[in-house]
Chains A and B, each alone.
Chain A
Amino acid sequence: MQTSVLEKATSEKGHCSTVLELNVRNHPGVMTHICGLFARRAYNVEGIACMPLGTGTTSRAWLLINEDERLEQVVKQVEKLQDVLEVRRHAGGHAVFENLGPFFRP
Chain B
Amino acid sequence: MFRMTGAEVLIRLLERQGIQTIPGIPGGANLPIYDALSRSPVIRHVLARHEQGAGFMAQGMARVTGRPQVFFATSGPGATNTLTALADAKLDSVPVICITGQVPRSMIGTDAFQEVDIYGMSIPATKHNFLVRCVEELVQIIPEAFRIAASGRPGPVLVDIPKDVQTAEIDISSWPDPGLAEAPKAVAMQDVENAARMINTAERPMFYLGGGVIQSGASALARTFAEKAGLPTVMTLMGLGGIPSGHPLSLGMLGMHAAPCANLALEECDLLIAAGVRFDDRATGKVEEFCPGAKIIHMDIDPAELGKIRPAHQALVGDVGQALQALIPRLEARNRGPWLERVRTLKTDHPMRLSGSENPRSGYGVVLEAARLAGPQAVVATDVGQHQMRAAQAYPFDTPRRWLTSGGLGTMGFGLPAAIGAALARPDLPVICFSGDGSLLMNIQEMATAVEQGVNVKIVLTNNNALGLVRQQQQLFYEGNLFASDYGYAVDFLRIAQGFGMQTLNLDQSADPSGDLERIFNEPGPGLIHLTVDAGDNVYPMVPPGAANSEMIEGEEHADVCA
Contact = CB atoms under 8 A, between A and B. Distances in A.
Contacts of B120: 29, 32
Interface string A36-56: 100010000000000000000
Interface stretch (A3-11, A14-22, A59-67, A76-84): A76-84
Contacts of B124: 36, 40
A77 B302 CA distance: 10
Given A72-B307, A76-B303, A77-B304, A82 B128 contact: yes
Range class of the B interface residue count? 10 to 19
A22 to B, nearest CB: 16
Nearest to A33: B123
Nearest to A80: B304
Nearest to A37: B124
A57 interface: no
A29 B131 contact: yes
Summarize B's interface: helix, strand, loop or mixed.
mixed
Given A29-B131, A36-B124, A73-B308, A80 B302 contact: yes
Contacts of B307: 72-73
B560 to A, nearest CB: 43
Contacts of A72: 307
A11 to B, nearest CB: 31
Contacts of B304: 73, 76-77, 79-80
B148 interface: yes
Interface string B277-314: 00000000000000000000000001110011000000
Contacts of A32: 120, 123
B71 interface: no
B540 interface: no
A28 to B, nearest CB: 8
Contacts of B308: 73, 76
Contacts of B148: 82
Contacts of B303: 76, 79
B119 interface: yes
Contacts of B131: 28-29
Summarize A's interface: helix, strand, loop or mixed.
helix
A33 B148 CA distance: 16
Find the residue from B302, B304, B307, B308 having the highest chain A CB count within 10 A. Answer: B304
A29 B302 contact: no
A36 B125 CA distance: 11
Contacts of A81: 128
A68 to B, nearest CB: 15
Contacts of A80: 302, 304
A79 B308 CA distance: 14
Nearest to B130: A29
Given A72-B307, A82-B128, A82-B148, A36 B123 contact: yes
Contacts of B128: 81-82
A36 B127 CA distance: 13
Nearest to A75: B304
Find the residue from B119, B123, B124, B302 having the highest chain A CB count within 10 A. Answer: B123
Interface string B212-239: 0000000000000000000000000000
A76 B294 CA distance: 26
A24 to B, nearest CB: 13
A87 B153 CA distance: 20
A77 B119 CA distance: 19
A32 B123 CA distance: 8
Interface string B113-137: 0000001100110011101000000
Contacts of A79: 303-304
A29 B127 CA distance: 14
A43 B514 CA distance: 57
Interface in B121-176: 123-124, 127-129, 131, 148
Interface string A74-96: 00110111100000000000000
A45 to B, nearest CB: 16
Nearest to B137: A27
A73 B309 CA distance: 10
Find the residue from A28, A33, A72, A80 having the highest chain B CB count within 10 A. Answer: A80
A33 B129 CA distance: 10
A79 B302 CA distance: 11
Nearest to A73: B308
A32 B308 CA distance: 23
Contacts of A82: 127-128, 148
Nearest to B120: A32
A34 B127 CA distance: 13
Nearest to A72: B307
A28 B119 CA distance: 11
A29 B148 CA distance: 17
Contacts of A36: 123-124
A22 B128 CA distance: 18
A80 to B, nearest CB: 6
A36 B129 CA distance: 13
A28 B130 CA distance: 10
Contacts of A28: 131
Nearest to A27: B133
A71 to B, nearest CB: 12
Contacts of A73: 304, 307-308
B156 to A, nearest CB: 13
B131 to A, nearest CB: 7
Interface string B171-207: 0000000000000000000000000000000000000
14 contacts: A28-B131, A29-B120, A29-B129, A29-B131, A32-B120, A73-B304, A73-B308, A76-B303, A76-B308, A80-B302, A80-B304, A81-B128, A82-B127, A82-B148
Given A29-B123, A29-B129, 11 more contacts: A29-B119, A29-B120, A32-B123, A33-B123, A40-B124, A73-B307, A73-B308, A76-B303, A79-B303, A79-B304, A80-B304
Interface of A: 28-29, 32-33, 36, 40, 72-73, 76-77, 79-82
Nearest 3 A-B pairs (CB), nearest first? A76-B304, A82-B128, A36-B123
